[in-house]
Amino acid sequence: MDAAPAAGHPRSSGPSPAASVRTRVTIPLRFPDGYEVTADAVTFHGLADGEEHVALVLGDPTAAPAPLVRLHSECLTGDVFGSARCDCGPQLREAVERIAATGGVLLYLRQEGRSIGLYNKLDAYALQDAGLDTYDANTALGLPEDGRDYTAAAQMLTALGIGELDLLTNNPDKAGQLRELGVPVRFVRPTGVFATDSNVRYLHAKAERTHHTIALPEQAGPGTVSTLAG
């Protein structure tokens, strides 16, 4: 079931306007656990929202019947500083290795805090500490529960020559938006669920409020990974 569009953020539909590749450069990546891989980082002209999104092309996207693609929303706290309040950092690490193994693309989208920005996200954290869940905290600040629009992602995929794809996500809204934008999603491949004592409430909120296909363990501990769902 696709999640409903977020209030105050109308969803785009139909084929997206054309964008083009701006630069492509090879970057060796190394993660804190020692995993290393080489990626082609691609930037773009003409993205609809004007943001500096980047694509990481990993492995050979033409090697499989459909390349594996992840739309990963920027999370400074989780991706860079290793915050345990979310599962973004572990999902990013997992996605890079899985995509590199089969061939595909990771789109790193500048959508901090589900597109509310870093400062607002930290304000929402304070409200979560007072008892609100991640979605109610956003609305208490006068912001959408999820303000992300994936028009730019569709443009990036088209500019890279990606047609039918397999989407790596637990969020049904990503597949729903891409299909509405004319991007054929063949299969949705679930990510791992990296549940810990610090983020299990956040994960429950995603499952209950926006129908993320995640299965949570009864109790979570450091480094717990639940069974894949969907």
Reply yes or no on whether 146 is catalytic: yes
Cα gap 28→7, rounded to integer Å:
40
Which is nearest to 67 in space by CA: 222, 224, 178, 184?
184
Catalytic residue among 87, 123, 148, 173: 148
Is residue 64 within 8 Å of residue 131, measured between CB atoms?
Answer: no
Neighbouring-strand partners of residue 189:
168
State both tokens at 4.
Answer: 């409903």
Catalytic residue among 87, 123, 133, 146: 146
Reply yes or no on whether 148 is catalytic: yes
Hey, which residues are catalytic here? Answer: 146, 148
